[in-house]
Each structure stands twice: as C-alpha cells, then as structure tokens.
Amino acid sequence: MAQKMKKEARVISQKMLSEGIYDMWLETPIAKDVKAGQFVGVYPVNKATLLPRPISICEDDCERSAIRLVYRVVGSGTAEFALYQPDDYIMILGPLGNGFPLEKAAGKKAVVIGGGIGVPPLLETTKRLSQKKEGDKPEIVSAVMGYRNSDTFLADEFSKYSTLYIASEDGSIGTKGNVIDALKAQNVPCDVIFACGPMPMLRGIKKYAEETGVKAYLSLEERMACGVGACLGCVCKTKNVDEHSHVNNARICTDGPVFDADDLDMTV
Ligand SMILES: Cc1cc2nc3c(=O)[nH]c(=O)nc-3n(C[C@H](O)[C@H](O)[C@H](O)COP(=O)(O)OP(=O)(O)OC[C@H]3O[C@@H](n4cnc5c(N)ncnc54)[C@H](O)[C@@H]3O)c2cc1C
Ligand code: FES
C-alpha cells in the first residue's frame, strides 16, 4: 500500500455550528479519493501539540476538491483548529482508515446511527447510500441520531437524504433516551446498521444487532497517536489474531476505524 504523505490544505470556510462545535471546509486534492467513514489526521501548527488529531470526513465535494470536517473543541489541538480563518494553510494526512462497506446495504433496509461527535462521518455515509444507483440501492435509508438535548447539529442535513429519527437524553426532542430506545420505540425498519459514536453506544448496538439478527458495521473513534499503524496506540480487541502483533488485536487507525461488529470483542 502506498505510504500516505502529509499534504497542505487551504481553509475555505469555518463557522460555529452549535455551542463548541465547528464546521470547516478545506480545499485538498484528497477529496477525490475519499470513502464514506474515512478520516484525516490534522496537524496542529503549535509544535507543542505533536501528534495529528484524527477527524472524520463529514462530507466531500469532488467538484470543488473540498472536504468538510465537523468537530467539537475538547483540548489544545481542536481549540487551535477553531481559530483557523479562510485562506489559512494547514497540513493534513489522509484519507485514512477503511470506511463503511456501503455495498452491504444493496436491497436492504439500511440504518445509519450516530451519537455525539460520532454524528459527522455519517452524513457522507447517508448521502452516498441515498444516491446509489438501481441494483446497488438500499430499499430504505433511515438515520437515527442521538443528542444530549435539542441542539441537533446536522439533523436538517440528514433529513435531506433519509427518514430521520432523533433521540435526546433530556427528552426535549424525539424519543427520550438513547439511539437504541429510538430504534425500538419508532420501529425503525432495519436489516443492516452503519454506526459511529461513543463506546457504550456501540456496545449497545452490537448487542441489539445480535439479538435481532441484523448486521452491524461500527466505527470506533478511540484515542490515536501516529494514525498510520506504527505505534499500536489505538488497538481494540478482536476475535481474530492480528498479523502484525500476533494477538487478538486490531489497529483502529489502519484496520478500522470501521469493523464488522461480529469481529469485535467488546466485553472490556
Ligand atoms: C477515527 C477518529 C475520528 C474522529 N472524528 C472526529 C470528528 O469527526 N469530530 C470530532 O470532534 N472528533 C473526532 N474524533 C475525536 C478527536 O480526534 C479528538 O477529540 C481530538 O483528537 C482531541 O484533540 P485535542 O488536542 O483537542 O484534545 P486533547 O488535549 O488531546 O484531549 C482533550 C480531551 O479529549 C479527550 N479525547 C481525546 N481524543 C479523544 C477521542 N478520540 N475520543 C474520546 N475522547 C477523546 C481526552 O481524553 C481529553 O479528556 C475522532 C477520533 C478518531 C479516532
Ligand atoms: S495510532 Fe499508531 S498504530 Fe494506530
């Protein structure tokens, strides 16, 4: 596999989408190579922040050679990103990771499920599922998005490409509870799931998929270091033995971030 090189990207635009959540478009030639569910490593300019920060590709636009990143400010790296202005140049590495196997949705009732900051990569996923041609098309595309409250960032965009169901922790919008509560309460038609979000949510989805006999593909957004498979800083437990480390591990950055739920050991 060709080694990925750091590339310069130009900031096209940046705005605050909701409290602490930013929406940035970058001009970059990698836009033409992106699969839904992949991510980029974004290098902070501040050299005290050594490692690239993994951020999912929320949308890509080949015509404009542009990718969209939607991120929450949680620490020094993302705080720096929020300061970028149009025409600033930054360094990115990517596209990284494997992406979602969208072909598994052909003819099926596909459900895209996101929670918290796992919501952004699912926008491109939902868009591509809805634009599949006859023969590769899912029978139905539904999206179930989980939020803390009525601050439902990106929800209006999901409703353009899917039938949208919302869960909120405080019950202020949609089903009160989590995404599984919404799936059950709203009887969402489901044969195959594509999901991204916090680990407890993904564990719940794996259990739901096992109980109901549906396939699930889960994107794990755990902490990372090098982002290119070299440091083993991002391993997760799997049922199969990894060729690189010879134990029941996989590297989320290169083997994932998307895994078949059946291959993951999520008991720890
Ligand atoms: C494949 C992948 C895709 C991602 N996509 C997105 C995205 O689209 N949008 C987005 O907002 N974030 C995303 N993240 C998380 C993002 O990478 C981290 O929030 C970011 O690296 C934090 O950098 P920082 O320097 O601001 O914070 P740091 O100073 O490094 O950390 C600040 C706090 O955030 C916590 N933290 C850091 N990384 C993570 C993580 N991966 N998961 C949970 N908590 C973390 C730390 O434990 C600490 O408490 C993704 C992560 C991965 C692995
Ligand atoms: S982050 Fe280094 S191996 Fe995945």
Q: What is the pLDDT of residues 153-182, one digit of tens each?
A: 999 999 999 999 999 999 999 999 999 999
Q: How many CA atoms lie within 13 A of 125 on its CB side?
A: 35
Q: Is 25 in the pocket of ligand 1 (CB under 6 A)?
A: no
| Mean pLDDT in residue range 23-39 | 96
Tell which one of 38, 55, 59, 83 to mutate to probe ligand 1, the residue whose CB is within 8 A of the most ligand atoms. Answer: 55
Indicate the pairing of strand 39-43 with strand 89-96: antiparallel
**CATH code of the domain occupying 102-221:** 3.40.50.80
Q: Which residues contact 6 (CB under 8 A, 6 or more apart)?
A: 43, 91, 92, 93
Q: Summarize pLDDT for 40-78 with one digit per residue, the tens.
A: 999 999 877 778 999 999 999 999 999 999 999 999 999
User: What separation in Å is there between the alpha carbon of 54 and the centre of ligand 1?
Assistant: 7
- Classify strands 163-168 and 53-56 as parallel, antiparallel or unpaired: unpaired
Superfamily of domain 6-96: Translation factors (2.40.30.10)
245 has a pLDDT exceeding 80: no
Better pLDDT: 13 or 223: 13
| Res 167: pLDDT | 96
Confidence of residue 265 (pLDDT cuts 50, 70, 90): confident
Parse the chain into domains and list their residue ranges.
6-96, 102-221
Q: Specify the ligand 1 atom closest to the Cα of 79.
A: 26
Mean pLDDT of 97-109: 96
Name the phi and psi angles at 224, rounded to 5.
Answer: -135, 160
Does the structure show a pLDDT above 70 at 143? yes
pLDDT band, very low/low/confident/very high, at 242 (cuts 50, 70, 90): low
Residue 241 near residue 218, CB atoms below 8 Å: no
- Return the best residue to mutate from 46, 74, 218, 224 for the ligand 1 pocket (most ligand atoms within 8 A of CB): 74
Mean pLDDT of 118-131: 96
